[in-house]
Amino acid sequence: MRYLFLFVFLFTFVVSAQKPDGTLPVELVYFQGYFADGKVILFWGTATEVNNYGFNVERKLPQTNWEQVGFVFGSGNSNSPKSYYYEDSTDLQQAIYHYRLKQIDNDGAFKYSDSIEVSTITKVESEANTVAGFLLKQNYPNPFNPTTVISYQLPVGSYVTLKIFNVLGKEVANLVNEEQNAGVLNYELGIRNYELSSGVYFYQLRAGKFVETKKFVLLK
């Protein structure tokens, strides 16, 4: 598990082709999504932007055509990383949805991102998993600013570490490092206590032999 962070961290793709002067209109460095609380949360980030009007958010089921479900304004021209997110709760079924971004320039030119899949199929967890077993929950809210809560469950007293890593796998915060009693525990993470910039991070819980990692998005 300690090598988990190495598989997607440097995933980068370019939304649109180079312009004649060699500039990249929009360099999209990540596009991801997940389902929580009856909504699909989509989040993405850019490294640079030139002439970027915004993003159409489009979705489809495997048997349907693409449809626009939302729009997010871009940052125009930017040489610094930008983060975006969109919540989709319109007529969602229990299914696997495909999402993509249509990036639109101010002059009307556009390009599509690669598509991603998000499942809205809910699973009923067994009582053994939710009551008797170790469990690390998704932080809430996510994305967040300025605070979020990380909840986890210990069936027995354990030595616990809860750490945050950036997308390069570097540890950036050590939240918990102590022996804890069995039960449901909550940690409130406030960005004012740590020097964290906007972006995607991973938090990892270790308790005895149990190890689990989840990701969150910080927006500033």
The 3-state DSSP class for residue 132 equals: helix
**Splitting the chain (220 residues) into consecutive groups of 10 residues, what average pLDDT does each group show?**
35 40 68 84 89 96 94 93 89 92 94 92 48 81 87 90 89 93 88 82 91 87
Strands of the sheet with 158-165, listed across from one edge: 171-180, 158-165, 199-207, 210-218
Torsion of CA 28, 34, 38, 44, to 10 degrees: -10
Find the radius of gyration of the CA atoms of the chain. 19
Per the rule left: phi > 0, alpha: psi between -120 and 50, beta: everything else, 180 is: beta
- Lookup: tokens for 120: 């809205």
Among residues 103, 138, 124, the alpha carbon closest in space to that of 17 is found at 103
Euclidean distance between CA atoms 30 and 14, whole angstroms: 10
Please check whether residues 31 and 59 belong to one and the same domain.
yes
Among candidate residues 119, 138, 169, the one where a domain is terminated:
119
Q: What is the chain's percent helix, strand, coil content, to nearest 5?
A: 5, 60, 35
User: Could you report the per-residue pLDDT of 6-39, keeping only the tens digit for each?
Assistant: 333 333 333 334 444 444 578 888 888 888 778 8
Euclidean distance between CA atoms 178 and 11, whole angstroms: 34
The 3-state DSSP class for residue 131 equals: helix
What pLDDT is stored for residue 123 in this prediction? 52
Residue 137 amino acid letter: K
What pLDDT is stored for residue 143 in this prediction? 87
- Lookup: tokens for 73: 């304004």
Beta bridge pairs of residue 99: 59, 116
Please check whether residues 111 and 148 belong to one and the same domain.
no
Domain assignment of residue 112, given as a range: 4-119
For the domain that residue 150 is a member of, what is the CATH number?
2.60.40.1930
For the domain that residue 90 is a member of, what is the CATH number?
2.60.40.10
What pLDDT is stored for residue 2 in this prediction? 38
Please check whether residues 11 and 105 belong to one and the same domain.
yes
What pLDDT is stored for residue 121 in this prediction? 79
Please check whether residues 195 and 149 belong to one and the same domain.
yes
How many other CB atoms are there within 10 angstroms of residue 214's CB atom?
16
User: Could you report the per-residue pLDDT of 117-138, keeping only the tens digit for each?
Assistant: 988 876 544 333 344 588 899 9
What pLDDT is stored for residue 17 in this prediction? 40
- Lookup: tokens for 119: 């499942």
Please check whether residues 54 and 143 belong to one and the same domain.
no
